[in-house]
Amino acid sequence: MRDRADFERYVEQRSARLLRTAYLLCRDWGTAEDLLQTALAKAWFAWRRVGENPDPYVYRILANTHATWWRRRWKGEIPTETLPDEAARGPAADPAAGLGARDEVRSVLAALPARQRAVLVLRYFADLPDAEIAEVLGCSVATVRSQAARALAKLRVDPAARAALTSELR
């Protein structure tokens, strides 16, 4: 039986990795923090029922909560080329210019469908085996493998993706 001390140890040990996973799912640090906090709150309520390895359970909460938020996301925002406060100051240097290869990889991941992105993030960034990814996403191992294969095939034929991934691996 798990107790509060087990949960606190788990959060201390795994929160950085879980936050990176949440960020790769939603591509925004503020939203990722909110997503992780919500996931950990949900995990807390079920903590006594969680088995010996809580990672698949928490990853599943992350993925499902992100999917729910994505479905409910308000699409009423209108992007503008120049923010109002920047327009008053005049042209400014691009703040994203120095992010380099990691930003390119994030952009490449963002171009993938949500399920394919989740499979790649859980496989390559969270280091989960296919069976655990299937458990987290609530699908079969074959679906995980096919989603990964489709995502990697898309990345292979996209010249920008190939360049971004090649530069990140150097």
Tokens linked to 20:
């990176």
| pLDDT, tens digit (0-9, with 9 covering 90-100), for 81-93 | 776 665 555 555 5
HSE-up of residue 77 (Cα within 13 Å, Cβ side): 5
Q: Is 125 exposed, middle or buried (0-12, 13-18, 19+ CB in 10 A)?
A: middle
CA-nearest of 91, 13, 94 to 53 is 13
The whole-number pLDDT of residue 111 equals 85
DSSP string, the chain: ---HHHHHHHHHHHHHHHHHHHHHHHS-HHHHHHHHHHHHHHHHHTGGG--S--HHHHHHHHHHHHHHHHHH--------SS-HHHHHH-----TTTT-HHHHHHHHHHHTS-HHHHHHHIIIIIS---HHHHHHHHTS-HHHHHHHHHHHHHHHHH-HHHHHHHHHHH-
Q: Which ranges of the chain have pLDDT less than 50?
A: 1, 97-98, 169-170
How many Å apart are CA 81 and CA 96, to the nearest integer?
14
The whole-number pLDDT of residue 157 equals 84
| pLDDT, tens digit (0-9, with 9 covering 90-100), for 44-68 | 988 888 878 888 899 999 999 988 8
Tokens linked to 13:
């040990």
The answer to whether the CB of 2 falls within 8 A of the CB of 47 is yes
The whole-number pLDDT of residue 70 equals 65
Q: Is pTM beyond 0.85 here?
A: no
Tokens linked to 158:
């996209």
